[in-house]
């Protein structure tokens, strides 16, 4: 079920009313867990079996890891089995089509190739698998000290509550399909009875209106406006249109994913929960390192805490640091999709991160109150263009098309198709203004008397100027 569907417009108020109809934690968790499984399995009911299996395995592993009397061998076995189950499911459903031809003999491949191509990609599996890994790793690290909000179940009744909390943590529908990736220590302690009088209506409405505006008005209209960013359509376009397509797609992917994250945060607020911020004006970044401190923060944080640091981080010398950066970004690229273009995208970011660290560029950072000098503006412009060029690998999965686009960018004649330029510029403008406000080129705060009319205007635009509905880009990841 998508946030932008009519079925969700009926689903949300019904769940909201049922959730606050009871004041006990058991009632509220039960309603939200049931609603989350209905939400996830709405179009493909078989998906709930996969989510239930993943949740059960991770809950039981966490219970064993937190048991005060578990031996190190028992805990180690529970951790390994849970990681194998999580990563095995992800590898099978997401990467079998990619890795099968590399790992299997030709005789088996010829026999099974059709089956590999037919393996479905369960929506959201990357996100809730990473959440499960964070749970078991946090439980391994915590041991008998326990995880805040998830005490070890000493009695059968406690065991029911333990599993209910884990099921809710894994399945909570606002962040289930496309994040933010919530870590156990960030969320479990928030589980408590919620009251209608405590709802942050102001924060929820701001997040929801801004999120739906970015998705429906900006991203969906840009999706139509940048449809020519496909081979062979772009081959005959003049140079200015090619540049506009590149920037338009860059703004679109930001508006689409940031919009989803804001909607998720707003929905969570309606039920009394806080999700972590996922974007912080990434196109203001003056380095690739800073970009990853601003873009998809929950993934960046997860990769750093559960992959980069365990690999040794920057504690084992420069060479090992560069290898770790390269490996983490390579795997981060593959996390995004089942094509080698995503792996190349990750490798490119890894190389740029290592390059910056070698030359000291990773230490650059932009504070909101710093003056934007010509040098800062130039660095931000170069980073934005580099990031935008690499986004081509998300849109053009065939490397030959990427090379052809870059060739056209340099060799096609100057000129423009004005209508296409106008549409891309118009719907890119909100993202540009948002970043200019963040950089203090435009006042960051509206006068109090203008805030309500401003959000009312955004709501009006959502109703009258939404683009043709499309799936969120990150649903494919």
What are the tens digits of pLDDT across the range 265-282?
999 999 999 999 999 999
- Range of weakest confidence among 118-132, 355-369, 448-462: 355-369
**CA pair distance 2, 42, nearest whole angstrom:** 10
Last residue of a domain, one of 198, 233, 265: 198
- Residue 297 within any structural domain of the chain: no
Task: Identify whether residues 194 and 205 lie together within a single domain.
Answer: no
Task: Identify whether residues 266 and 221 lie together within a single domain.
Answer: yes
Task: Identify whether residues 205 and 100 lie together within a single domain.
Answer: no
Task: Identify whether residues 84 and 181 lie together within a single domain.
Answer: yes
Task: Identify whether residues 121 and 92 lie together within a single domain.
Answer: yes
Task: Identify whether residues 48 and 190 lie together within a single domain.
Answer: yes
What are the tens digits of pLDDT across the range 276-323?
999 999 999 999 999 999 999 999 999 999 999 888 888 888 888 888
Task: Identify whether residues 121 and 63 lie together within a single domain.
Answer: yes
Sign, CA torsion 18/19/20/22? positive
**CA pair distance 404, 402, nearest whole angstrom:** 5
Based on the residue annotation, tell me whether 336 is a catalytic residue of this protein.
yes
| Residue 100 in this model has a pLDDT that exceeds 70 | no
- pLDDT for residue 115: 64
Last residue of a domain, one of 139, 174, 198: 198
Task: Identify whether residues 120 and 131 lie together within a single domain.
Answer: yes
- Residue 346 within any structural domain of the chain: no
pTM above 0.95, yes or no: no
Task: Identify whether residues 42 and 170 lie together within a single domain.
Answer: yes
Task: Identify whether residues 119 and 22 lie together within a single domain.
Answer: yes
| Residue 112 in this model has a pLDDT that exceeds 60 | no
Task: Identify whether residues 185 and 261 lie together within a single domain.
Answer: no
| Residue 368 in this model has a pLDDT that exceeds 60 | no
- Chain-centroid distance of CA 426 in Å reads 26
| Residue 12 in this model has a pLDDT that exceeds 80 | yes
- Residue 278 within any structural domain of the chain: yes
pLDDT band at 148 (very low <50, low <70, confident <90, very high): confident
- Residue 323 within any structural domain of the chain: no
- Chain-centroid distance of CA 336 in Å reads 9
Q: Residue range 386-390: average pLDDT? A: 95
Report the number of distinct structural domains present in the chain.
2
- Range of weakest confidence among 43-47, 66-70, 332-336, 367-371: 367-371
Task: Identify whether residues 16 and 138 lie together within a single domain.
Answer: yes
What are the tens digits of pLDDT across the range 220-244?
999 999 999 998 889 999 999 999 9
**CA pair distance 275, 277, nearest whole angstrom:** 7
**CA pair distance 21, 433, nearest whole angstrom:** 41
Q: Residue range 212-225: average pLDDT? A: 95
| Residue 1 in this model has a pLDDT that exceeds 90 | no
- pLDDT for residue 276: 92
- Residue 54 within any structural domain of the chain: yes
Q: Which of 19, 336, 349, 435 is catalytic?
A: 336
- Residue 422 within any structural domain of the chain: yes
Please name the residues in contact with 280: beta carbons below 8 A apart, sequence gap of 6 or more: 293, 294, 297
- Distances 465 to 199, 228, 312, 415 between C-alpha atoms, Å: 30, 21, 50, 29
| Residue 383 in this model has a pLDDT that exceeds 70 | yes
Give the domain extent around 117. Answer: 6-198
Map tokens 């940031």 to a residue.
258
| Residue 219 in this model has a pLDDT that exceeds 90 | yes
- Residue 293 within any structural domain of the chain: no
- Residue 88 within any structural domain of the chain: yes
| Residue 362 in this model has a pLDDT that exceeds 70 | no
Last residue of a domain, one of 181, 198, 215: 198
Q: Are 256 and 472 in contact (CB under 8 A)?
A: yes
């Amino acid at each position: 079920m998508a946030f932008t569907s009519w079925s969700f417009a009926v689903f949300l108020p019904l769940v909201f009313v049922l959730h606050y109809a009871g004041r006990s934690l058991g009632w509220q968790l039960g309603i939200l867990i049931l609603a989350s499984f209905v939400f996830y399995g709405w179009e493909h009911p078989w998906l709930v079996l996969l989510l239930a299996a993943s949740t059960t395995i991770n809950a039981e592993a966490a219970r064993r890891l937190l048991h005060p009397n578990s031996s190190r061998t028992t805990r180690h076995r529970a951790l390994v089995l849970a990681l194998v189950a999580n990563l095995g499911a992800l590898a099978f459903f997401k990467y079998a089509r990619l890795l099968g031809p590399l790992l299997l003999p030709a005789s088996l491949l010829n026999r099974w190739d059709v089956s590999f191509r037919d393996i479905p990609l369960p929506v959201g599996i990357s996100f809730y698998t990473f959440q499960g890994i964070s749970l078991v790793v946090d439980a391994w690290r915590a041991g008998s000290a326990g995880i805040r909000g998830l005490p070890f179940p000493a009695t059968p009744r406690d065991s029911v509550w333990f599993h209910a909390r884990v099921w809710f943590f894994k399945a909570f529908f606002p962040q289930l399909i496309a994040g933010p990736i919530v870590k156990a220590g960030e969320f479990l302690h928030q589980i408590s009875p919620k009251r209608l009088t405590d709802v942050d209506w102001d924060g929820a409405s701001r997040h929801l209106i801004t999120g739906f505006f970015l998705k429906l008005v900006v991203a969906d209209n840009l999706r139509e406006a940048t449809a020519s960013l496909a081979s062979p359509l772009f081959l005959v376009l003049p140079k200015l249109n090619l540049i506009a397509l590149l920037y338009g797609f860059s703004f679109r992917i930001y508006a689409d994913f940031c919009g989803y994250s804001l909607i998720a945060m707003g929905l969570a607020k309606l039920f009394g929960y806080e999700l972590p911020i996922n974007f912080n004006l990434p196109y203001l970044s003056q380095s690739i390192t800073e970009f990853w401190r601003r873009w998809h923060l929950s993934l960046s944080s997860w990769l750093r805490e559960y992959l980069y640091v365990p690999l040794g981080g920057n504690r084992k010398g420069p060479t090992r640091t560069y290898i770790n950066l390269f490996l983490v970004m390579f795997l981060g690229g593959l996390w995004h999709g089942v094509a080698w273009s995503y792996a190349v995208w990750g490798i490119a970011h890894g190389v740029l991160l290592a390059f910056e660290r070698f030359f000291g560029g990773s230490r650059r950072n932009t504070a909101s109150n710093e003056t934007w000098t010509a040098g800062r503006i130039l660095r931000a412009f170069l980073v934005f263009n580099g990031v935008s060029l690499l986004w081509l690998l998300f849109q053009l999965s065939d490397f030959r098309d990427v090379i052809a686009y870059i060739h056209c960018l340099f060799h096609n004649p100057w000129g423009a198709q004005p209508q296409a330029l106008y549409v891309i510029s118009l719907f890119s403008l909100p993202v540009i203004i948002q970043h200019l406000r963040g950089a203090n080129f435009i006042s960051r705060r509206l006068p109090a008397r203008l805030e309500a009319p401003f959000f009312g205007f955004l709501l009006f635009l959502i109703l009258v100027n939404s683009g043709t509905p499309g799936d969120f880009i990150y649903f494919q990841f």
